[in-house]
């Protein structure tokens, strides 16, 4: 298909597409949405303009491999009839990896240049990158540095990418989280227990907020708030007294300690945690606390486990309450893609083709008042947090209604 890029006419015939970062529902829908339009357009295009969509395996890692020796690990042919049903499934048929082309080590090793050399060896005329702000940011840098046609699509179950009211992956993770919470609730009621349930949500607590409210959790703890364990203890004791059970939902990015917390809160949490760590019963919590924090290639700290801290403090510092701790982990990423993510992914794939036809490159689609907008890949960023003046922020703790 003929298009104009940087003031020059180009013929886009071979389009590469990859998925980076964590998997989630909607990846496959974007692929299918774009491939639908390509297949449709090919019915009327001249033979020398017909297009094909080529999958790149394991995200940016594909472009770090040698096409002459590892082609079977780099390219996946994509045919609409073969993959059209995959938009109903979470995960990614192209597989994924957390690969940072622009890490200090990779830049020093010339990896970005190698990636673009491989793009040429694979005879790609355009690249479509599906991922969060880290993955899309790399696409923007690569496209700018080597003046190459790029597109992106914003995914993340955390729903925290700027430029869109919703990322694909979010709604499905909320639905699966609510299902998990409700399963725990029936058991909590049956045995008069309090469950502490940890959900994903690195810096933004949208998943815990929506799922906690929809699952009628008594306490919902978010990364955006000052967590005060004395207040949490009081809410849990109130829930147990009134209902004889309780549900505490905590986002994985919530913290016991933070420089923005009042000094008295940090000190009190240190006191509460010290009592836990001193008790041999909580040896695993002590081991976790003393373990060095790991980081991925983008410098993001690997989270998970705050729910265990919350559970241990509650169990240690309350009496007459039986607790259970459950971490949803990756279960809420996978399975089926729920309807909203199917539709949103298909819309984003469709929108990328429209951008291409309109000669608008270096962008990713977003949703604004149910309309598709374009956003500059060079301006993509995360950090779309839950504002404390959001209506749902004040609604999140069900026990406060009693």
Q: What is the SS3 assignment for 52-84?
A: EEEEECCHHHHHHCCCCCCHHHCEEECCHHHHH
Let me know if 47 is a catalytic residue: no
**H-only helix segments in 263-305:** 263-277, 283-290
- pLDDT higher than 80, residue 115: yes
What's the confidence (pLDDT) of residue 295? 62
For 402, counting Cβ atoms within 10 Å of its Cβ (0-12 exposed, 13-18 middle, 19+ buried), the class is exposed
The β-bridge partners of 153 are: 130
Taking the C-alpha atoms of residue 398 and residue 348, their distance in angstroms, rounded to an integer, is: 35
Res. 302: pLDDT tops 80: no
Average of per-residue pLDDT across 123-138: 95
| 90 pLDDT more than 80 | yes
**pLDDT score of 291:** 74
pLDDT of residue 296: 58
CA dist., res. 6 & res. 28, Å (int): 30
From the candidates 23, 125, 133, 158, which is the catalytic residue? Answer: 158
Q: Which residues contact 106 (CB under 8 A, 6 or more apart)?
A: 100, 112
**211-228 pLDDT per residue, tens:** 999 999 999 999 999 999
Dist CA 94 CA 235 (whole Å): 45
CB 289 within 8 A of CB 277: yes
Average pLDDT, integer, range 384-389 = 93
**Alpha-carbon distance 159 to 393, whole Å?**
16
**Strand-strand pairing, 322-327 and 126-131:** unpaired
What's residue 334's pLDDT? Answer: 87
pTM, full prediction: 0.92
Report the residue count for the chain. 402
Average pLDDT over residues 332-361: 96
Specify the range with the lowest mean pLDDT, choosing from 12-21, 56-65, 229-238, 283-292: 283-292
Q: What is the mean pLDDT of residues 140-144?
A: 95
Decide if pLDDT at 304 tops 70. no
- pLDDT band at 331, cuts 50/70/90? confident
> Would you place residue 74 in the very low, low, confident or very high pLDDT band (cuts 50, 70, 90)?
very high
Domains and CATH numbers, the chain: 2-168+337-379 (3.40.50.450), 173-332 (3.40.50.460)
Distance CA 236, CA 288 (A): 24
DSSP 8-state code for residue 166: -
How many other β-carbons are positioned within 10 Å of the β-carbon of residue 72? 9
Residue 294 banded pLDDT, cuts 50, 70, 90: low
Find the mean pLDDT for residues 98-119.
Answer: 93
Question: Using CA of residue 328, residue 332, residue 335, residue 336, what is the dihedral sign?
Answer: positive
For 55-72, what is the mean pLDDT?
Answer: 94
pLDDT digits (tens, 9 = 90+) for 159-214: 999 999 999 999 999 999 999 999 999 999 999 999 999 999 888 999 999 999 99
Mean pLDDT (the chain, rounded): 94
Nearest of 133, 36, 111 to residue 352 by alpha carbon: 36
* pLDDT for res 305: 85
Distance CA 22, CA 6 (A): 32
């Amino acid at each position: 298909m003929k298009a104009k890029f940087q003031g020059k006419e180009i013929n886009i015939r071979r389009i590469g597409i990859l998925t980076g970062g964590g998997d989630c529902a909607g990846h496959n829908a974007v692929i299918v949405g774009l491939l639908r339009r390509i297949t449709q357009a090919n019915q009327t295009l001249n033979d020398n303009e017909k297009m094909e969509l080529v999958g790149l395996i394991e995200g940016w890692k594909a472009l770090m491999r040698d096409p002459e020796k590892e082609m079977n690990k780099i390219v996946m042919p994509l045919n609409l009839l073969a993959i059209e049903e995959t938009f109903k499934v979470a995960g990614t048929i192209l597989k994924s990896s957390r690969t940072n082309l622009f890490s200090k080590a990779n830049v020093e090793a010339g990896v970005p240049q190698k990636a673009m050399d491989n793009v040429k060896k694979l005879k790609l005329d355009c690249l479509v990158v599906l991922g969060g702000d880290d993955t899309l940011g790399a696409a923007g840098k690569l496209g700018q540095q080597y003046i190459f046609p790029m597109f992106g699509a914003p995914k993340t179950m955390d729903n925290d990418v700027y430029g869109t009211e919703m990322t694909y992956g979010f709604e499905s993770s909320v639905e699966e989280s609510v299902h998990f919470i409700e399963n725990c609730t029936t058991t909590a009621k049956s045995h008069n227990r309090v469950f502490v349930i940890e959900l994903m949500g690195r810096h933004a607590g949208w998943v815990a907020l929506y799922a906690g409210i929809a699952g009628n959790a008594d306490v919902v703890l978010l990364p955006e708030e000052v967590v005060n364990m004395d207040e949490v203890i009081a809410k849990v004791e109130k829930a147990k007294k009134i209902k004889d059970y309780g549900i505490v939902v905590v986002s994985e990015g919530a913290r016991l300690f933070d420089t923005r917390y009042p000094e008295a809160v940090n000190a009190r949490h240190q006191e509460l945690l010290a009592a836990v760590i001193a008790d041999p019963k909580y040896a695993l919590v002590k081991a976790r606390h003393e373990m060095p924090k790991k980081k991925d290639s983008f410098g993001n700290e690997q989270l998970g486990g705050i729910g265990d801290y919350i559970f241990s403090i509650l169990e240690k510092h309350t009496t007459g309450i039986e607790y259970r701790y459950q971490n949803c982990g990756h279960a809420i990423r996978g399975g089926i893609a729920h309807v909203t993510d199917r539709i949103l992914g298909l819309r984003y794939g469709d929108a990328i083709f429209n951008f291409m036809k309109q000669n608008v490159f270096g962008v990713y689609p977003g949703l604004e008042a149910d309309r598709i907008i374009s956003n500059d890949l060079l301006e993509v960023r995360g950090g779309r947090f839950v504002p404390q003046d959001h209506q749902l922020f004040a609604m999140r703790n069900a026990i406060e209604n009693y």
